[in-house]
Amino acid sequence: MRADAQRNYDRLLDEARQAFLLHGTDVALEDVARHAEVGVGTLYRHFPDRYALMNAVFEQEVKALSQRGRELLAEADPVDALLQWLRAVAVHSASYRGLAAAITEASDDRMPACRTKMPAAGTALLHRAQESGGVRSDIGIGDLLKLTYAIVVSAERNADDPDLFDRLMSLMTDGLRTRTPSLTAQ
Burial of 146 (0-12, 13-18, 19+ CB in 10 A): middle
| pLDDT, position 185 | 47
Q: Given pLDDT bands bounded at 50, 70 and 90, which one contains residue 132? A: very high
Q: Given pLDDT bands bounded at 50, 70 and 90, which one contains residue 1? A: low
- For residue 61, pLDDT over 80 is answered with yes
Domain 1-48 shares a fold with domain 57-176: no
Taking Cα atoms as reference points, which of 54, 29, 59 lies closest to residue 44? 29
Q: What is the mean pLDDT of the chain?
A: 89
> How many Cβ atoms sit within 10 Å of the Cβ of residue 2?
7
Question: Cα dihedral sign for 92, 104, 86, 90?
Answer: positive
For 3-49, the pLDDT digits (tens) are: 888 899 999 999 999 999 899 889 999 999 999 999 999 999 999 99
- For residue 116, pLDDT over 90 is answered with no
Instruction: State the average pLDDT over residues 175-181.
Output: 81
| pLDDT, position 59 | 85
Taking Cα atoms as reference points, which of 181, 180, 148, 179 lies closest to residue 165? 148
> What fold, for 1-48?
Arc Repressor Mutant, subunit A (1.10.10)
For 66-109, the pLDDT digits (tens) are: 999 999 999 999 999 999 999 999 998 888 888 888 877 776 67
Instruction: State the average pLDDT over residues 111-122.
Output: 79
| pLDDT, position 182 | 53
- For residue 54, pLDDT over 60 is answered with yes
Residue-range domain boundaries for the chain: 1-48, 57-176
CATH of 57-176, one of 3.40.50.1860, 1.10.357.10, 3.40.50.300, 3.40.50.720: 1.10.357.10
